[in-house]
Amino acid sequence: MFRSMLKLQKKGLLRFTLLTLFFMNIVEAAGAVTAEEAMFTVNNTWMMVATFLVFIMHLGFATLESGLMRSKNTVNILFKNVAIVAIGLLTYAICGFNLMYPGDAWLLGKCFGFAGFGIEAPLGAAGLINYADGQYTYWTDFLFQGMFAATAATIVSGAVAERIKLHSFLIFSLLYVGLVYPIVGSWKWGGGWLDGIGFYDFAGSTLVHSVGGWAALAGVIVLGPRLGKYSSAGIKAIPGHNMPLATIGVFLLWLGWFGFNGGSVLSADPGKVSFVLVTTSLAAAAGIIGAMFTSDIVQKKPDLSMVLNGSLAGLVGITASADTVSVLSSIIIGGISGCLVVITVIFIDAKLKLDDPVGALSVHLVCGIWGTLAVGIFSQNPDHSVLIQLIGIIAYGLVSFVSAWVLFMGIKMILGIRVSAEEELRGLDIGEHAMEAYAGFQIFTND
């Protein structure tokens, strides 16, 4: 992607843009409009629309996760999803954006840089127009990237749900979204060392989904399973309490992915963006079909939550390569993702005995890795290689998992991380918030 470095290094373009700006000022005085100005405006408008779509993914996560959990923990998961958006945006404004896109301000090789606290348009009022290769404004850039940032923590929230302490989770999110996500993100999208060696991740199979997924894995290990999940009596299935809510979540996430992938073109380039939308949609569709067949065969009856996760699996899988593979490859990548998600949900639960209430490990971590590898396998660009992709996967895996594990362990030692058994049985809604999600409804006590 090479996002911010591009901005600084393309001196020629910058000069041209400055000239354009100068010219625009002249013709504006006469009331006229240039084609460059019109193109900048449509590019910026598209990026704002993409920002809205990524924003609505947070509602998608909130509804998907709460639908796949028990009703007694619904207020808690909704609360976390609302709080994460706020924490994500504010920390990104305070330091995240300038950690992720340090420009020239590298402090430690091309591994860590920081361009200072706060956000400010680079050249004042004029800078608003003159920013980012003439594609969109500084403010659009910040908001689009800020909406991405919060999704990494949201991925974690599903996996650790129904047993983590509210304040402990919020502090983890603050640190992971505010520091870890942008620092590792800078390695590729900020023009860091992985970008230098040719690692490719179009819209974040690794940078967003795996980075979230590795943290989810650390959280699941540190927390342990929900009470009663694995016992001598066997493995207890804990069904979600509201499938319409979960389905709303998946449709909204797919919708949001149009902005997540489509916006990652970083302009409204008609050919590129519309091609990305097609590969994205066909991968999601193939993920559904793949999960449907696999679930029908493995589980005898087609399971709605598997099919929902199949669509997300296809979307995560195509995210790294949406602009660089053929239409047919996108269907294959998505279809394999759909199969993978069903098999690994069962494997992680039954064999590894890792308790992930929403299947986030399969969707975001497994398919994030698969999608990143798929770049090396299916890309039409000969510069992409499986080996380099593997290096990136391992680097992100190590640093994300270790830092998340350290954060979770530190929080566990200082604040504690798990609610009491009594609170877990009664539900976190009463325990953490003194509220019920569905006041008035008769609900079976689900232990």
Q: Which is nearer to its own copies, 209 or 241 (CB)?
A: 241
Exactly one of 164, 289, 367, 411 binds its own copies (CB under 8 A); that residue is 289
For residue 314, give both structure tokens: 């296809």
Minimum CB separation from its own copies for residue 402, in Å?
Answer: 29
Site for its own copies in 193-212 (CB under 8 A): none
Do the Cβ atoms of 122 and 142 come closer than 8 Å? no
Site for its own copies in 92-111 (CB under 8 A): 93
Exactly one of 308, 320, 341, 348 binds its own copies (CB under 8 A); that residue is 308
- How far apart CA 142 and CA 51 sit, in angstroms, is 10
Minimum CB separation from its own copies for residue 233, in Å?
Answer: 19
Q: Which is nearer to its own copies, 319 or 372 (CB)?
A: 319
Do the Cβ atoms of 176 and 156 come closer than 8 Å? yes
- How far apart CA 142 and CA 231 sit, in angstroms, is 48
For residue 147, give both structure tokens: 């909406």
Q: Is 112 helix (H, G, I), strand (E, B) or coil?
A: strand
Exactly one of 145, 151, 305, 321 binds its own copies (CB under 8 A); that residue is 305
* Residue 336 in the binding site for its own copies (CB under 8 A): no
- How far apart CA 207 and CA 255 sit, in angstroms, is 20
- How far apart CA 418 and CA 165 sit, in angstroms, is 5
Exactly one of 6, 14, 111, 128 binds its own copies (CB under 8 A); that residue is 128
Minimum CB separation from its own copies for residue 238, in Å?
Answer: 9
Site for its own copies in 365-424 (CB under 8 A): none
Q: Which is nearer to its own copies, 196 or 239 (CB)?
A: 239
Category of 119 on φ-ψ map: left (φ > 0), alpha (ψ -120 to 50) or beta: beta
Interaction mask 56-95, its own copies, x per CB under 8 A: x-xx--xx--xx--xx--xx--xx-xxx-xxx-xx--x--
Site for its own copies in 213-242 (CB under 8 A): 239-242
Inter-CA distances, 293 with 64, 310, 335, Å = 22, 10, 10
- Choices 187-195, 220-228, 248-256, 359-367 (CB under 8 A): range interacting with its own copies: 248-256
Q: Which is nearer to its own copies, 41 or 221 (CB)?
A: 41
- How far apart CA 346 and CA 17 sit, in angstroms, is 54
- How far apart CA 143 and CA 128 sit, in angstroms, is 14
Minimum CB separation from its own copies for residue 236, in Å?
Answer: 13
* Residue 269 in the binding site for its own copies (CB under 8 A): yes
Exactly one of 49, 123, 171, 346 binds its own copies (CB under 8 A); that residue is 49
- How far apart CA 344 and CA 365 sit, in angstroms, is 11
* Residue 332 in the binding site for its own copies (CB under 8 A): no
Q: Which is nearer to its own copies, 255 or 399 (CB)?
A: 255
Do the Cβ atoms of 35 and 20 come closer than 8 Å? no
Minimum CB separation from its own copies for residue 213, in Å?
Answer: 23
Minimum CB separation from its own copies for residue 57, in Å?
Answer: 10
For residue 89, give both structure tokens: 């945006």
- How far apart CA 352 and CA 39 sit, in angstroms, is 52
- How far apart CA 102 and CA 183 sit, in angstroms, is 10
* Residue 297 in the binding site for its own copies (CB under 8 A): no
Q: Which is nearer to its own copies, 37 or 349 (CB)?
A: 37
* Residue 251 in the binding site for its own copies (CB under 8 A): yes
Question: Kindly report the CA angle at 336 between 330 and 342, in degrees rounded to 5?
Answer: 140
